[in-house]
Structure 1
Amino acid sequence: MKPLNTPLAGLPREVRDTLFLLTVIGWVVLMQAAHIPPWCLGLTGALLGWRAYLTVRLRPLPGLWTRVALLALAVGATYATHRTILGRDAGVTLIVVLLALKTLELRARRDAFVVFFLSFFTLLTHFFYSQSLLTAVGILLALWGLLTALVNAHMPVGHPPLWSAARLAGGMALLGAPIMLVLFMLFPRMAPLWGIPSDGMTGRSGLSPTMSVGSIASLALDDSIVMRLSFDGRPPPQRTLYFRGPVLSRFDGRTWQPAVDGLLPGRGMRAPVTTQGSPVRYQVTLEPSNRPWLLLLDTATETPTGPSLGPQDLVRTPDLQWLLRRPVTDLLRYDAQSFVDFQYGPQQAVLGLQEHVDLPPGFNPRTLALAQSLRQNTPSATPQQLVEQALERLRTGGYTYTLEPGLYGEHTADEFWFDRKAGFCEHIASSFVVLMRALDIPARIVTGYQGGEVNSVDGFWTVRQSDAHAWAEVWLAGRGWVRVDPTSSVAPGRTGTLQRLRPEPGLLGAAMLTVSPDMAARLRALWEAANNSWNQWVLNYTQSRQFDLLRRLGLQATDWTDLLHAMVAVVVGAAALGALWTLWERHHTDPWLRQLERARARLRREGVTVPFNSTPRQLAQLLPTHLTPEDRAERHRWLMEMEAQRYRAASASGQRTSGSKL
């Protein structure tokens, strides 16, 4: 019995190999921790730990009825959790538990091979949930570990070091990499065979279709990426980068909601959009959001285009918001053009504007009194002048822009204008729109994202959840709807130089920033540039890009059969070249001599002086003394068998010849 603290290299071969395999399986399961129930993670960890304990202590494995009871428990818990044992989530849960249970009957090489290939299958299930670069790196590490264990299992004798098996596994994977690259580039993308069905609850939502005062401030704490942009030519100024999201017109005193007809095409106050200047053309890579809206630079008049977008998939609302007919649950790439200088909306008062001056009764009495005072003090002021007076109040009234304004009560606008005088963008925008409506000026709130930053590595613009923003639109006669960002009056740096409010960093983040803020920013830019390259060249490698590749190679591809023919031709051609190379190498190089030279090189690496023309029998006499008796005997036997393979046939032939002469 070995103590638990015995070094891995000093353990018996079977114990060492089993512990290594259990470690790799643990990594495979740990990568699924966010997608399996807590009981599944705990049960799997307990089973793997139990199997490791039995291995180290050389105890017998559990019997059949124990394993059957554990299996029944796993199936029952899966059904209780998912209400089914079919489907993606339930299936992954069962596969993970079955993998751990299979290790409890790991006795022979045959059982080991079953565990290997069940582990490979479990590894593939990670792509059900994520295809990110980080997931790919984790899967490559797990794949290398499983290949190492598989190669090691095909070394049935001796005590070969794991690093030797790992080198061989890595070399084999690199040799297969060109074929994998060809399969990736040419395998037809045919739905539903290509791609993984998305789960409607896997996307990050970010913005909401409604806005409660204080809700957007929570997004400022989230630095996750919403989308990446690449501009054709020079990008517009940062202060004009407003990406339009939900437009909110109804207010119940606390929460803003879209207009009743705001999402219905063909209704509402439609009016032509008047644009000036040249359009801004750009490409967007939108992260999954589980929301139907398409984020575009304000304002886009032409329908965006993309590999998975058609005109029938998109709707533009009367509020100039673009919507998909399905939620965005996968990475989405599209091309668009927008005009940052535009006018839209009715030029003269129409009946539909009335809902944009409605306020709920009984709320914000002091704001209503403020509006009445402004009207009385400047009875001849135009709506434009009243807007300027409100903005001037924000600039000079001691108002501050903060992530922590405190908890607002029932009268949110009153508290902002008169008590707290502090808030995030939604506090400021909501209070401003309430004041505008109290002045009988039609106004509403637009939510979305404002600004972004340029990645210094790849030049792409990155928009994050922390760039979430709320601004106002007011209706002015002769101009239509006009964007007014009251936050700019309180904090000009928010939209001008893109100064963001940041939460206090944690202990590790503070230490890194103290050591080198530039290094932290550089590392972040490098990682995000690598992620973006992965998104652009791997996740967004669509069928149209396959066809473009073949055309650049001089082949005319019109459908998936052309891709299939090209793939088969390349694979068959590569296999034929490999076969020819093997035949040539065997014809010009003696495999026995090549193997003998490898044995000499191994001894030299172990510090033994080996003559260049030494025979297998001489090598057997030069074996190092630091080897264990088992390893020394095994290598001696192997070298003698190698000598016998070379000379046995000649010796037997010579004896027959002598006998015939007698």
Structure 2
Amino acid sequence: MLKLPRQMPRDTRDTLFLLGVIALIVLPQLPNLPLWCIALALVVLLWRGALAWQAAPLPGRWWRIGLLALALGATFATHRTLLGKDAGVTLVVVLLALKTLELRARRDAFVIFFLGFFAMLTNFFYSQSLLTAAAMLVALLGLLTALVNAHMPAGRPPLMQAARTAGWMALAGAPVMLALFMFFPRLAPLWGTPNDNMTGRTGLSNTMQVGTIAELALDDGIAARVRFDDGRMPPRDRLYFRGPVLSRFDGREWTALPPWERGFLPANLRVRGEPVRYELTLEPSNRPWLLTLDATPQAPAVEELRIFQTPDLQWMSSRPIGDLLRYRAESWTDFDSGPQRRLPGLQVYTALPPGRNPRTAELATQMLAQSRAQAGGGDATAALVGLALQRLRTGGYSYTLEPGVYGDETADEFWFDHKAGFCEHIASAFVVLMRAAGVPARIVTGFQGGEINAVDRYWTVRNSDAHAWAEVWEEGRGWVRVDPTGAISPDRIGQFRRLSPQPGLLAGAIGAVSPTLAQNVRAVWEAINNGWNQWVLNYTKSRQLDLLKKLGFDSPSLADLAWVLLWLLVGASLAGGAWTLWERSRIDPWLRLLGRARARLARAGVELPPQAAPRLMGERLAERFGAEASAPVRAWLLRLEAQRYGRAPTESLRALRAQFRRLRWPAAGG
């Protein structure tokens, strides 16, 4: 027969509750743990729960030693070390689970509590999302409830009573937590581990092979959020966020050129018109690339990062971006770059593997002759580009995520066989055609497009907006952007038709009920997450100093932050002390001392009615521990009673307090 919690022995109930809290702490870590660790922790927790349910004895020492040795060996075999973030988290989870197998006394419970607090913090090594924070807040309240409950040894207090106390403790600590968050100086961490585990996260790469961008387009996750100053957003067909530039082609794969092969060509960026000012919040990608709109002459305003610009206009960081990053930038969407006359260094951008894509080479020869005839002896590059785009528009080409399997001659197969592809197929075939005609050309990858979140008005760029386009060098102009995908599918560039993945079960069910409900729910949830990102995860040193300016500091510094925090903590301490004195003044000192005695006896297991007098307390103590063992405490209780009710009290309340502290009070089980 299934027992309800109120029907269980207290030890069983408390143990099962603690095991449930441990499971809640470990649950968000499952994607980051090895399978053997998950299985071992699950088996141990279920085993410990069964032992508590059956009131069976705990396993012996050799069982625990054997499991610990197994866990250490498996951790070393998995991670090749017992140190570091991943191995350390694995060991913490295993030790937390194994410690429950020796949960016999309160001392063991306290070790589990503090291991649990540490394991809870390790969740933030991998994710600082709003969901993780909410789950760990529930876990924190659970651990505090178990901790409070462990300090109530006598009787069988309900868990809800301990939960209420834990909730009030959390609320009481919230102002201090808020003050520390707002004013504790943001410094580089004194310790930490690199955020090197980005498994499952997608992003751009410094290589492009047929199928890579298509795979990225199937990921609807957020890559970046943008807030344009004063809502002044550029035209939609100019929203190109620049990423890696790919210039080397081996017939199948495009890769970025190393710096020593770029011919030392100057960036020579020339901008026109008004700049676009914006703030961009970049999601972690474990790549060193900073997304900016094309083109950005000045370095984005990034705190505590060394950044630089490559000659092909890409902004990069000195280390991979492993955490959420927010920065301001100023970009011009109307620009040219690169040398305006042909230099020897441009030859690297005309290189093609010999003997590959012969039909494309023949097509390039035909188009080049035709374009030269149109140009009348001048530079024929613009005419050649026009002819290629015209062929894409009128030659029966289509834009699709499922173009079929491509072989080794990718350009030939696109131009003459498949005539269908995604942006990577189109851009690659176009650049191969240009190079075959002797025109310097390269591929630029990044993101193009996005969508506005109607809730918070942030422009959202998703992984599904990943894109590849071309840059062609023209005499007198330099590098000029050409997006051949727009010739086949104009709505991909102008109206942002996105090829979306199939919705999940829940999203599909919501969409079946209302086509717009799923979009609205997602917009609200993403706006909430964005608020969490902007105000919590991205609360940086500059925002702290801006807050001090609003508080009246002319030139705030980290020292000012420290002083403000110190005065806040001193003020809070003084207020707490004043409240304590005021609270004590409302309670009779004699009743307070009696209450302390009642609490001591309750911890010793002496059952007392709420309004028990000192004499009755002494009698119950003698019944529980015997007259001789309880004599000193009973004598003190009688003196306490005489101090209040005697005709001529012989001892002061101060003396009774001193005697209370010196007494040896009986302990439970004594």
Deviation at 1:379, TM superposition (A): 5.0
For the pair 1:586 / 2:584, whether they are aligned, the reply is yes
2:220 paired residue among 202, 223, 230: 223
1:494-513 map, 5 Å: 494-513=492-511
1:242·1:451 contact (CA, 8 Å) conserved in 2? yes
Structure 1 window deviating more from structure 2 (288-297 vs 268-277): it is 268-277
Aligned to 1:174: 171
For the pair 1:372 / 2:370, whether they are aligned, the reply is no
Aligned to 2:655: none
Aligned to 1:39: 36
Counterpart CA distance in 2 for 1:495 and 1:642 is: 85
Aligned to 1:190: 187
For the pair 1:253 / 2:251, whether they are aligned, the reply is yes
Counterpart CA distance in 2 for 1:152 and 1:388 is: 77
SS at match of 2:29: coil
Aligned to 1:431: 429
Deviation at 1:104, TM superposition (A): 0.7
For the pair 1:443 / 2:448, whether they are aligned, the reply is no
Counterpart of 1:120 in structure 2: which amino acid?
F
Aligned to 2:9: 12
2:248·2:254 contact (CA, 8 Å) conserved in 1? yes
Counterpart of 1:239 in structure 2: which amino acid?
D
1:144·1:169 contact (CA, 8 Å) conserved in 2? yes
Counterpart CA distance in 2 for 1:187 and 1:485 is: 48
Aligned to 1:333: 326
Deviation at 1:643, TM superposition (A): 11
Counterpart of 1:637 in structure 2: which amino acid?
P
Counterpart CA distance in 2 for 1:465 and 1:348 is: 37
Counterpart CA distance in 2 for 1:334 and 1:42 is: 42
1:269·1:346 contact (CA, 8 Å) conserved in 2? yes
TM-score, normalised relative to structure 2: 0.86
SS at match of 2:32: coil
Deviation at 1:268, TM superposition (A): 2.5
SS at match of 1:495: helix
Aligned to 1:274: 270
Deviation at 1:192, TM superposition (A): 2.9
2:614·2:638 contact (CA, 8 Å) conserved in 1? no
Aligned to 1:345: 338
Counterpart CA distance in 2 for 1:593 and 1:416 is: 91
Counterpart of 2:482 in structure 1: which amino acid?
V
For the pair 1:305 / 2:292, whether they are aligned, the reply is no
Counterpart of 2:647 in structure 1: which amino acid?
T
1:205·1:291 contact (CA, 8 Å) conserved in 2? no
Deviation at 1:641, TM superposition (A): 5.8
1:198·1:330 contact (CA, 8 Å) conserved in 2? no
SS at match of 2:494: coil
Counterpart CA distance in 1 for 2:392 and 2:589 is: 85
Counterpart CA distance in 2 for 1:302 and 1:76 is: 52
Deviation at 1:295, TM superposition (A): 1.0
| Alignment coverage as a number of residue pairs | 616
Deviation at 1:59, TM superposition (A): 0.6
TM-score, normalised relative to structure 1: 0.87
1:236-635 map, 5 Å: 236-261=234-259, 268-309=264-305, 313-376=306-369, 379-381=372-374, 382-555=380-553, 559-588=557-586
Counterpart CA distance in 1 for 2:570 and 2:121 is: 26
For the pair 1:133 / 2:105, whether they are aligned, the reply is no
Deviation at 1:280, TM superposition (A): 0.6
- Give identity over the alignment, percent: 58
SS at match of 1:159: coil
Deviation at 1:260, TM superposition (A): 4.0
Where in structure 1 are there 5+ consecutive unaligned residues?
595-632
Spell out, residue by residue over 1:38-94, the C-alpha distance to the aligned partner (whole angstroms, 9 max, x if none): 211111111111000000011100111221222222222222222222232222222
2:279·2:326 contact (CA, 8 Å) conserved in 1? yes
Aligned to 1:608: none
Structure 1 window deviating more from structure 2 (377-386 vs 230-239): it is 377-386
Cα pair distance change 1:580/1:435, threshold 3 Å = same
2:267·2:312 contact (CA, 8 Å) conserved in 1? no
Cα pair distance change 1:64/1:201, threshold 3 Å = closer
Cα pair distance change 1:653/1:569, threshold 3 Å = closer
Aligned to 1:637: 609
For the pair 1:208 / 2:205, whether they are aligned, the reply is yes
1:109 paired residue among 106, 109, 117: 106
Counterpart CA distance in 2 for 1:321 and 1:573 is: 50
Cα pair distance change 1:66/1:441, threshold 3 Å = same
Deviation at 1:636, TM superposition (A): 7.0
SS at match of 2:57: coil
Aligned to 2:148: 151
Counterpart CA distance in 2 for 1:543 and 1:654 is: 59
Spell out, residue by residue over 1:347-378, the C-alpha distance to the aligned partner (whole angstroms, 9 max, x if none): 22222222222221222222222223334556
Where in structure 2 are there 5+ consecutive unaligned residues?
375-379, 593-604, 618-636, 651-670
RMSD: 2.9
2:444·2:470 contact (CA, 8 Å) conserved in 1? yes
Cα pair distance change 1:111/1:471, threshold 3 Å = same
2:643·2:649 contact (CA, 8 Å) conserved in 1? no
Counterpart of 1:31 in structure 2: which amino acid?
P
Deviation at 1:8, TM superposition (A): 2.6
1:657 paired residue among 638, 647, 651: 647
Counterpart CA distance in 2 for 1:441 and 1:658 is: 113
1:128·1:196 contact (CA, 8 Å) conserved in 2? no
Deviation at 1:555, TM superposition (A): 4.3
Deviation at 1:28, TM superposition (A): 1.0
1:557·1:563 contact (CA, 8 Å) conserved in 2? no
Deviation at 1:165, TM superposition (A): 2.1
Find runs of 4+ consecutive structure 1 residues off by over 6 angstroms.
591-594, 633-636, 642-645, 647-651
2:66 paired residue among 56, 69, 80: 69
Counterpart of 1:532 in structure 2: which amino acid?
N
SS at match of 1:456: coil
Cα pair distance change 1:253/1:592, threshold 3 Å = farther
Spell out, residue by residue over 1:18-44, the C-alpha distance to the aligned partner (whole angstroms, 9 max, x if none): 101001001112222122222111111
SS at match of 2:245: strand
Counterpart CA distance in 1 for 2:279 and 2:360 is: 43
Aligned to 2:663: none
Aligned to 2:159: 162
Cα pair distance change 1:641/1:417, threshold 3 Å = farther
1:158·1:634 contact (CA, 8 Å) conserved in 2? no
1:315·1:323 contact (CA, 8 Å) conserved in 2? yes
Counterpart of 1:300 in structure 2: which amino acid?
T
Counterpart CA distance in 2 for 1:206 and 1:334 is: 19
Counterpart CA distance in 2 for 1:642 and 1:419 is: 100
